[in-house]
Chain A
Amino acid sequence: EVQLVESGGGLVQPGGSLRLSCAASGFAFSDNWMSWVRQAPGKGLEWVGQIKHDGSEKYYVDSVKGRFSISRDNANNSLYLQMNSLRAEDTAVYYCAREASGTTFVYWGQGALVTVSS
């Protein structure tokens, strides 16, 4: 059974940093592109960024470029999202997602809530 479990969410002050983790199991993690998708309270889905199976390519939505960084540890089946210089508008539930071809989000985690507030 495919499982994606996010952790690391919480309350952080504007300008602060937070690191989300996603523990993957039930599939060949090192063979898959992975993405982060977020959802602000009461709003729609927004793709944040993605990382190639070997970590050699990474892409981000413009609003987080230079502030967020995606990484992975294939030996430990883990995906990460390092978030720096956080803003109130980054408040959202963050989902990790396993991709299939064509940037199709086949499996999703349960999400981790990040709240940026003073």
Chain B
Amino acid sequence: DTHMTQSPSSLSASVGDRVTITCRASQTITSSLNWYQQRPGRAPRLLIYGASTLQSGVPSRFSGSGSGTDFTLTITSLQPEDSATYYCQHRGTFGQGTDLEI
């Protein structure tokens, strides 16, 4: 099974900042990588699929990149509502999550 490792585990940023979250796969997974946002007390929400394709309705300040084993989720112009936990996922495996505090 492929193991997914996210970094950092948590980070703090300010409104208007740009942040990057990374996800590393234990083996090559081509572009089969998704990103989710989970706000406190809510169900997860799909942000990015196929490593870089923005899900319908997701603000364009979210973007994803990478292939092979290394992937990134970038959020520009941070907003207060971006405070959440972010997860990467490949097939049946999720990363451990990154807590973002605004």
- Could you say which of A46, A100, A103, A110 contacts B91, with CB atoms under 8 Å apart? A103
Whether A45 lies near B44 (C-beta < 8 A) is yes
Indicate if A27 sits at the interface (CB-CB under 8 A).
no
Q: How many residues of B contact A (CB 8 A)?
A: 21
B52 interface contact, C-beta 8 A: no
Q: A104 near B: Cβ within 8 Å?
A: yes
The answer, yes or no, to whether A80 is at the interface (CB within 8 Å) is no
**A104 pairs with B49, CB closer than 8 A:** yes
**Size range of the chain A interface in the assembly:** 20 to 34
Q: Which residues of B contact A (CB under 8 A)?
A: 32, 34, 36, 38, 43-46, 49-50, 55, 85, 87, 89, 91-97
Apart from A104-B34, A106-B49, what are 11 other A-B pairs with CB-CB below 8 Å? A44-B85, A44-B94, A44-B97, A45-B36, A45-B44, A50-B92, A59-B92, A95-B43, A102-B32, A102-B50, A108-B43
A residues apposed to B, CB below 8 Å: 37, 44-47, 50, 59, 61, 95, 100, 102-111
